[in-house]
Amino acid sequence: MAGTIAEAKSKLAPMPEAVEPVLEVINVTKTFPNGKTVLNGISFQVLPEETFVILGGSGCGKSTLLNILIGVLEPTSGQIRILGEDLRSLRGDRLKAVHVRCGMLFQSGALIESLSLVDNVHLPLREHYRGMDPDVLFETARLKLRMVGLEEHAAKRPSGISGGMKKRVALARALALDPDLVFADEPTSGLDPVSTREIDEMFIRLTRRIGAAAVVVTHDISSFFRIAHRAVMLGGERDGDLQGQVIMQGCPEDFRASQHPVVRRFFASGESETRNR
Amino acid sequence: MITDKISYSRLVIELARSTFMTFLRPSSTAIDSAISQMRSIGLGALPTASLIAVAAGFILALVLEIQLSQIGKVEVVPSLLWIILTEQVVPVGVALIFAGRSVSAVTAELGSMQVSEEIKALFTMGIDVVPYLLVPRFLGFQIMLPVVTLVGIYASLLGGWLLCGIVLRMGIADYIYYAFDGASFWSVMVALAKSALFAFLVATIAFYKGLNVRNGSREISEATTQSVVGAVIVVTMADAVVTSFQLV
């Protein structure tokens, strides 16, 4: 029964080797039944091992886009290719095989309240590597918790820890299966500046250690400059006809140097918020 | 069921399919989870159900004694108790206890998992929600409701004997003799069949209401109330239908 996680992973998810890019979003539009179009012609790519940020103010559709990328919502039109597979054509075991190669860090953590911290991290390992030695899987879960500095809290329940600790456990869980692609929804929301920096640095260190690409949704400008290789900015509620559309794509320096009024307004308000903290 | 609401019929179909697959290929985690749910859903209800059953047996025996003593037929109290308690009072009573206790708890738990994105998290981890969350709870209801019903039957007969022993000065041996004189294995089978049906109904109502919560704690509270009220109505009406068939 014993064996390495890597061996088991190669048997579990028999998929073609990831081709460049790991994620392609091609002209995605989302219109809800009430007629509101929240995403309009969104296109971008995420390359292997890069951290790609989705930026934007309120109402720009960041969360909707993330829900589409993780397969919870379907786009109205457009295509999403994730790890070489067309997401819209995936069902059942094939969709599960993609999920196994992706990790997700939710804004609130979304830890299972009835499980201890180590059991939360152990859960995806136990469910997807059933033929493996249970002790090996449990040790792997403890190792992941140790990587986020919470091994001594392993037996606690999520209700007994702080918001920042929950995010760290959620990160450990997202990385439990050594994914190729990690999604993160506002990973530093609700945290103080010190904890924000800590989570950002931990996120970058751990995703790069396993060679994963990351797609991070955030409106935190300091986090953006700290973690992003490249980014896309979407228009928000205040941007009129540009709401839900791509305003700009590029690396952080491009955004800093941009003269686009929406970009300048977004960064100006974000920097003033940072100064006032 | 992650973002779109799930219909009752689709829920039942998915549940049936997943339960069948669990029996076909049981895993140790599924078994552990089912045992844990049996403990929380069923064993936790046992003391309450037993206490109420003893009281129900006592009260029914009292009512029967008052009426039958007027025509000098008190010796049939135990056998009437057996028929009424076994086939009607206890299965419905236990189902109603489960509705108030376990249905509300399961609805609230699933609703809160929806609101806090735990169910979405399971989906993104490639874990099927129905086998992981619902099947163990379904088995908890399906196994423990009949078990508690069986215990409740004998607890209610004990309650009946307390009355018969005090008022009629009936010895335990005489009580058992008269009770089982009117008893039949068929009554027990009717009780277990009813409780299995009630278990299916209350469990699926709890799942349906809990999984369809979308917006915050107020909706969790509303869903919990609706699931309890719905379970009570459905159990009562189902009992009326099944009992009608018995008369045919």
Report pLDDT digits (tens) over B6-65. 999 999 999 999 999 999 988 888 888 999 999 999 998 999 999 999 999 999 999 999
Please give the share of chain B, as a percent, with pLDDT higher than 90. 71
DSSP classification of residue A56? E
* Cβ–Cβ gap A106/B117 under 8 Å: yes
Residues from chain B contacting residue A106 (CB–CB below 8 Å): 117, 120-121
* Cβ–Cβ gap B124/A72 under 8 Å: yes
Sign, CA dihedral A132-A134-A138-A139, equals: negative
Q: Is B125 helix (H, G, I), strand (E, B) or coil?
A: coil
The rounded distance, in Å, linking the Cα atoms of A22 and A180 is 8
Check if the beta carbon of residue A144 is closer than 8 Å to that of residue A121.
Answer: yes
Q: Which of A85-94, B83-92, B149-158 has the lowest mean pLDDT?
A: A85-94
Distance from the Cα of A152 to chain B's closest Cα (Å) equals 24
More confident call, A236 vs B146: B146
Residues of chain A with pLDDT under 50: 1-3, 18, 277
Cα pseudo-dihedral A223, A213, A89, B18, rounded to 10: -90
Identify whether A193 is preceded by a cis peptide bond (ω within 30 of 0).
Answer: no
Distance from the Cα of B231 to chain A's closest Cα (Å) equals 25
Task: Give pLDDT tens digits for B196-238.
Answer: 999 999 999 999 999 999 888 899 999 999 999 999 999 999 9
Q: Which residue of B has its CA nearest to A69?
A: B124
What tokens appear for A29 in the block? 């539009």
**Full 3-state SS string of A202-239:** HHHHHHHHCCCEEEEEECCHHHHHHHCCEEEEEECHHH
Q: Select the residue of B118, B123, B124 nearest A112 (Cβ to Cβ).
A: B118
Q: Which residue of A has its CA nearest to B128?
A: A96
Sign, CA dihedral B94-B99-B102-B103, equals: positive
- For residue A7, the model assigns a pLDDT of 54
Q: Select the residue of B27, B118, B124 nearest A70 (Cβ to Cβ).
A: B124
* Cβ–Cβ gap A127/B116 under 8 Å: no
pLDDT at residue B136 tops 70: yes
* Cβ–Cβ gap A99/B3 under 8 Å: no
* Cβ–Cβ gap A113/B118 under 8 Å: yes
Return the residue in B4, B118, B120, B135 with the most chain A beta carbons within 10 A, the one to mutate for interface testing: B118
The rounded distance, in Å, linking the Cα atoms of B29 and B156 is 36
* Cβ–Cβ gap B126/A99 under 8 Å: yes
Q: Does B132 touch chain A if contact means CB atoms closer than 8 Å? A: yes
- Which residues of B, range 94-113, sit inside 8 Å of A by Cβ? 109, 112-113
Task: Give pLDDT tens digits for A18-57.
Answer: 458 999 999 999 999 888 899 999 999 999 999 999 998 8
* Cβ–Cβ gap B121/A104 under 8 Å: yes
Q: Using CB atoms within 10 A of its CB, is residue B83 exposed (0-12), middle (13-18) or buried (19+)?
A: middle
- For residue B174, the model assigns a pLDDT of 85
- For residue A272, the model assigns a pLDDT of 52
The rounded distance, in Å, linking the Cα atoms of A253 and A141 is 38
Residues from chain A contacting residue B29 (CB–CB below 8 Å): 126-127
Helix A5-12 with A92-100: angle, nearest 10 deg: 150
Residues from chain B contacting residue A130 (CB–CB below 8 Å): 27
The rounded distance, in Å, linking the Cα atoms of B72 and B68 is 6
Phi (first) and psi of residue A101, to 5 degrees: -90, 0
* Cβ–Cβ gap B118/A72 under 8 Å: no
Q: Does B3 touch chain A if contact means CB atoms closer than 8 Å? A: yes
Check if the beta carbon of residue B208 is closer than 8 Å to that of residue B6.
Answer: yes
Name, of A34-38, B79-83, B191-195, B244-248, the range with top average pLDDT.
B191-195
User: What's the Rg (C-alpha) of chain B?
Assistant: 21
The rounded distance, in Å, linking the Cα atoms of A47 and A230 is 10
Q: Which residue of A has its CA nearest to B27?
A: A130
ipTM: 0.87
> Distance of CA A118 to CAs A123, A140, A148, A176, Å?
9, 10, 12, 11
> Distance of CA B200 to CAs B142, B195, B207, Å?
6, 9, 11
Question: For residue A33, what are the β-bridge partners?
Answer: none
Does an H or E element contain B164, and which? helix B135-167
